[in-house]
Every structure is written in C-alpha cells, then in structure tokens.
C-alpha cells in the first residue's frame, strides 16, 4: 500500500480531482479560488503556492486516495522495534525527527530550525521566545518518554506530559480545558468539558493492554476526539503513540509536513475504520 502521495505530481492531482468534481466551477469552489486561477494552475502547476498545495493534497487524499483503502479492515501488527533502543545515535536522530515533525504540522517550524536550537543552541532569525520554547519542550518530552516508555499511561501521566509540553506557552498547561473545543473543517463533536475526566478514565482502561498497531490507531483517534486540553492535543496524542509503540516493541511513526494531509484524512476516517490509519502509521515507521 503506497502512502507516498507527495510523489504524485500536482498536474496529476488536479486532473484526478477535476474528474471527481466534473466541472471546473465546482472544483474551484472546493479550493476557494476562482476558475481562472484553476486554469492558470493547470497550465503551470509549478506556480501553485505551498498553502494551496496543502488544499489540493487534502482533497486528493480524501476523494481519490481514501476510497481505494477505505474497505480494508484487518489487524495491523506493526514493524518490530529490533535494536532501536540499543543504538543511541539512531534512536536520538529518529526521536528528534519525530518531535520536529509533530511540531512542524502544528506550527510550521522546519526541521532545520528545530535542529539549530536543540543541536547547536542557536536561535534562527525571526524566532520568538515562544517558538524556542515549543521546540525545547517537545524535544525534551520526546526524549523523556522514550527513556521511560514502560511507565503506565494514566490520566495523571497525560496531564504531567502536557504540563511539560506546554510549559511557558499557555497558562493552563497540564490542566484540562474548561471550554468546548472545536476542530476546524471537521464535523465531529468533541467531548464536553464536564465529561473529559470520565471519558479519559474510560480511555485509560480501554487501551491499557494494547497488542497491535491497530489498537494504537483506535486509541489515537479516540484521544483526539476527547481533545482534553485547550492546546497541544495533537502533539500529546502523537507522543502517546510513541509511548504505546515502544511498549509493544514496534517502531513508532514519524509524521510531518510531507504526510500530514493523509494523516488528517485517515485520522478523521478512523471513526469508521481505523485500519488505514494503522497502515499509515506502519508506513511512516519504515
């Protein structure tokens, strides 16, 4: 199963989506652009800006890629961890890439800038103190979780991780949100603030004995739909995935800007079938 949608040209993606929408007007409306802009893109795909590439990727993953994998339903075991924990250089690089990628899809911070801060202790130009804190926090916490992955994932542990992750970034780091959260462009009702504790306690009990990557995919979707914090839910959710993978001796996935469109589409689809998300995780760990 090929998850490398970035290898497909935007000329091909535009053609596929044009066939899906049937008319240029409908396709342009879906992209929130004019028909003339769409014609210009078809004539010269190299002129498509990154933010519009992201829009095209999301639509392509949702309407072209997803239908081809949506009916797959089976247990996905994941790739064995091997000697990962016993090769410090490989482990450190992988964890750094995971942390950088997780932050990149949320804030746009690029891996080269991430590495400059954590490896060279250099602050890139135009970086604010909050951006530096975001990098340092997730880098430290990723390393900490990997070193203590056998620790039980409890409600309090999740709060403690969030406190470290969002330290200096929000006033309620480590505390559950007291307001209703909303996911953009997703027709899903998140857990009501009054029910967060009860729902998370249920989540902890349900996923305390996971066996396969399929279980982790289900767990990840469930956690993101609880969305217990005011900010940082995606990063915490992916850190939990890291801990869970290490606990069952399989390689954790690296998710970043190069695969985020498919990640978001498969994460939303996991409410119907988590198997494609599990296969995606497996592909991102190879």
Known catalytic residue: 227? yes
Q: What is the pLDDT of residues 226-282, one digit of tens each?
A: 999 999 999 999 999 999 999 999 999 999 999 999 999 999 999 999 999 999 999
Does residue 279 contact residue 78 with C-beta atoms inside 8 Å? no
Banded model confidence at residue 132, pLDDT cuts 50, 70, 90: very high
The one catalytic residue among 139, 220, 222, 227? 227
Give the mean pLDDT of 78-82: 95
- Full-model pTM: 0.94
- Would you state the pLDDT for residue 86? 87
pLDDT at 116: 96
pLDDT of residue 70: 86
Reported as a single tens digit per residue, the pLDDT across 43-61 is 999 999 999 999 999 999 9
């Amino acid at each position: 199963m090929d998850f490398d949608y970035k290898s497909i040209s935007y000329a091909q993606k535009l053609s596929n989506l044009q066939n899906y929408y049937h008319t240029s007007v409908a396709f342009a409306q879906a992209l929130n652009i004019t028909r003339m802009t769409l014609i210009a893109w078809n004539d010269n795909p190299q002129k498509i800006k990154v933010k519009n590439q992201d829009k095209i990727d999301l639509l392509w993953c949702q309407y072209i890629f997803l239908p081809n994998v949506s009916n797959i339903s089976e247990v996905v075991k994941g790739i064995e961890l091997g000697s990962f924990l016993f090769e410090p250089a490989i482990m450190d690089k992988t964890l750094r890439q995971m942390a950088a990628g997780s932050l990149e899809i949320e804030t746009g911070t690029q891996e080269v800038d991430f590495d400059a801060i954590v490896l060279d202790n250099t602050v890139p130009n135009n970086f604010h103190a909050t951006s530096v804190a975001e990098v340092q926090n997730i880098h430290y916490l990723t390393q900490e979780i990997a070193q203590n992955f056998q620790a039980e994932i409890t409600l309090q542990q999740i709060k403690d991780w969030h406190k470290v992750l969002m330290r200096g970034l929000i006033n309620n780091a480590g505390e559950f949100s007291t307001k209703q959260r909303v996911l953009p462009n997703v027709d899903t009702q998140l857990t009501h603030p009054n029910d967060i504790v009860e729902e998370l306690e249920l989540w902890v009990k349900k996923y305390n004995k996971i066996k396969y990557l399929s279980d982790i995919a289900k767990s990840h979707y469930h956690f993101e739909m609880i969305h217990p914090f005011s900010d940082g839910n995606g990063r915490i959710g992916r850190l939990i995935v890291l801990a869970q993978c290490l606990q069952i001796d399989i390689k954790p996935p690296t998710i970043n800007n190069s695969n985020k469109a498919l990640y978001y589409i498969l994460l939303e689809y996991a409410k119907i079938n988590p198997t494609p998300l599990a296969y995606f995780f497996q592909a991102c760990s190879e």
